[in-house]
Amino acid sequence: MKGSSRLAFTVWSWSSLLLVAGHAADFTALGTFASPNRLSEAAAVSADGQTVVGRSMTENGFSAFRWTSSEGIQPLGSLMENGASEANSVSADGSLIVGQSDSSISGGIEAFQWSQGTGLSGLGALPDGQVELSRAFGVSGDGGTIVGGSNTSAFRWTEAEGLVDLGDVPGGGTGTTATAVSFDGGAIVGFGRSAESGLFNEAFHWTTEGGFTLLGFLDSEGDTKDSAALAANRDGSVVVGRSSLFEGFSLVSSEAFRWTEAQGMQGLGHLSEAQSISTAQAVSGNGERIVGESQTAEGRQAFLWTEEAGMRSLSDALRDEFGLADGTLEGWTLESATGISDDGFTVVGFGRNPQGHREAFLALLTPHPGDADADGDVDLADFNLLKANFGSSQPRFTQGEVTGDGQVDLNDFGLLKNNFGFSSEAVAVPEPASLALAVCGLFLLALRARTRRLS
């Protein structure tokens, strides 16, 4: 046996003895504040998947909350004593949270930003002459731009400029609302009255360079149409929301959509065609995973959508695709998925718990052990991710850190090796020689890293 072959065989055999456990799908109930009405709803999750925000009922009404695995559910307070508040969005690292709170301004409700160091601070409102009112619905990943609605106008807030009115949709009536913003603050989405929507709304995409772009409707033939953009991916190139038809002011149907400049608005379907109501509420950083809710005969249900698998209920996906342990969701009805992390692995929302109360949840949609690129296969592409990030600090799952121990090392290789060849579909497995060469490369990297530490 040649030296290189013996080396590969030695590492291959040794790795079989590693006792490593891969990531697994998981489900966490986030709790509620103590009150007669034990109720909580998650509205968003940070891009890194570590911080969840939303609202939970207290004796004084809803209170904005922040949840982390280390601290649990924590109230953010209010801009006025014993006032209500709600958190709607959070920056990428969880350090800045935005929403709205009872306030002493004339309209009674004011947009806020919250940070650990300063607590809640109000953003004010656009001048109206009659009433002052504002709500913050989105914050950029870098925390520098906040968007929302004030009186009848969408706004964009920055530290340098304060509240800036985005104005009305060209050719339309009065009324716009901004709902979400890209990571760098350059793209904003929302809805407003357009010439085609009349008294209803049309989804828009706004950029600092190009201003408003109207996104249209799924059904161009209907007399009374409405659409709303509710979220955007990391760079603002993928927009999701809902498009609806009305008879008079009665809702006939509503369908979740995904919009890109190249493909326009595309419908995502429904969990139940008989109900014909669905809404997309959040999208992953690359625009490939979308979550929301859809009406069924049993009531509304949270959904997960991908281009490959289409729309399916989140609870079914957790059990059937991601291997959530049997019985984990017993007694639960997942009603709405409202947020998703940048990598698409963490989903938050709310549902009915076994006690019948509405409660916020966090679900981990972790791929099959070893499937670092989450494409349904454990193959050389996953190995190459692991190899490229071998020895890196604070890596993510998508960088080859598949064991969850915070390092890309030979434990990750052992898990990948033990699952190598897995496929969600029937595909060819690479020849053993190809993998042996890859094994050698990783082992040499490990030796090199060890040599550098000793030198």
Q: What is the pLDDT of residues 143-194, one digit of tens each?
A: 999 999 999 999 999 999 999 999 999 888 889 999 999 999 999 999 999 9
Per-residue tokens: 361: 């949840």
Higher per-residue confidence, 293 vs 410: 293
pLDDT of residue 184: 97
Residue labelled with tokens 């030796």: 447
Backbone angles phi, psi at 111, to 5 degrees: -65, 145
What does the pLDDT look like over 193-247, one tens digit per residue?
Answer: 999 888 899 999 999 999 999 999 998 666 789 999 999 999 999 999 999 999 8
Distance CA 410, CA 19 (A): 11
pLDDT of residue 449: 57
Query: Do 17 and 55 belong to one domain?
Result: no
Query: Do 65 and 86 belong to one domain?
Result: yes
pLDDT of residue 68: 96
Higher per-residue confidence, 369 vs 252: 252
Question: Residue 75: which of 93, 102, 57 has the closest Cα?
Answer: 57
Q: What is the mean pLDDT of residues 15-40?
A: 73
pLDDT of residue 322: 86
Res. 3 pLDDT band, cuts 50 70 90: very low
What is the greatest pairwise CA distance in the chain?
87
Query: Do 82 and 216 belong to one domain?
Result: yes
Distance CA 444, CA 55 (A): 51
Give the domain extent around 259.
26-364
Distance CA 176, CA 192 (A): 4
Q: What is the mean pLDDT of residues 316-335?
A: 93
Task: Render the burial of 208-221: b for 16+ CB within 10 Å, e for the rest.
Answer: eeeebbbbbbbeee
What 3-state class would DSSP assign to 402?
coil
Backbone angles phi, psi at 230, to 5 degrees: -115, -15
Tally of domains within the chain: 2
pLDDT of residue 25: 84
Query: Do 163 and 221 belong to one domain?
Result: yes
Distance CA 339, CA 352 (A): 17
Q: What is the mean pLDDT of residues 263-289?
A: 95
Handedness of CA 404, 407, 412, 414 (dihedral sign): negative
Query: Do 352 and 207 belong to one domain?
Result: yes
pLDDT of residue 32: 96
Residue 8 has pLDDT above 60, yes or no: no
Query: Do 304 and 386 belong to one domain?
Result: no
Q: How far apart are the first and last CA of the chain?
A: 31
Point out the least confidently predicted range of 148-157, 344-353, 369-378.
369-378
Res. 419 pLDDT band, cuts 50 70 90: confident
Distance CA 409, CA 402 (A): 10
Query: Do 269 and 389 belong to one domain?
Result: no
Query: Do 330 and 447 belong to one domain?
Result: no
What does the pLDDT look like over 100-145, one tens digit per residue?
Answer: 999 998 889 999 999 999 999 999 999 876 778 999 999 999 999 9
pLDDT of residue 441: 58
Query: Do 282 and 398 belong to one domain?
Result: no
Query: Mean pLDDT highest for which of 91-95, 367-371, 385-389, 396-400?
Result: 91-95
Res. 16 pLDDT band, cuts 50 70 90: very low
Distance CA 176, CA 166 (A): 8
Query: Do 285 and 411 belong to one domain?
Result: no
Distance CA 357, CA 40 (A): 9
Backbone angles phi, psi at 317, to 5 degrees: -65, -40
Residue 312 has pLDDT above 90, yes or no: yes
Query: Do 14 and 33 belong to one domain?
Result: no
Handedness of CA 79, 81, 86, 92 (dihedral sign): positive
Domain finish residue from 344, 364, 384: 364
- The set of long-range contacts for 269-275, using a CB threshold of 8 Å and a minimum separation of 24, is 269/310, 269/311, 270/294, 270/295, 270/311, 271/295, 271/296, 271/301, 271/303, 271/311, 271/312, 271/313, 272/296, 272/297
pTM listed for this prediction: 0.83
Point out the least confidently predicted range of 4-8, 34-38, 351-355, 414-418.
4-8
Residue 426 has pLDDT above 50, yes or no: no
Query: Do 157 and 233 belong to one domain?
Result: yes
Residue 4 has pLDDT above 50, yes or no: no
Question: Residue 19: which of 439, 420, 415 has the closest Cα?
Answer: 415
- What's the CATH code of the domain at 60? 2.130.10.10
Q: What is the mean pLDDT of residues 282-292?
A: 97
Domain finish residue from 342, 364, 386: 364
Distance CA 412, CA 328 (A): 27
Backbone angles phi, psi at 339, to 5 degrees: -150, 155
| Average per-residue pLDDT for the chain | 87
Domain finish residue from 307, 341, 364: 364
Res. 69 pLDDT band, cuts 50 70 90: very high
Task: Render the burial of 14-50: b for 16+ CB within 10 Å, e for the rest.
Answer: ebeeeebebbebbbeebbbbeeeebbbbbbbbbbbbb
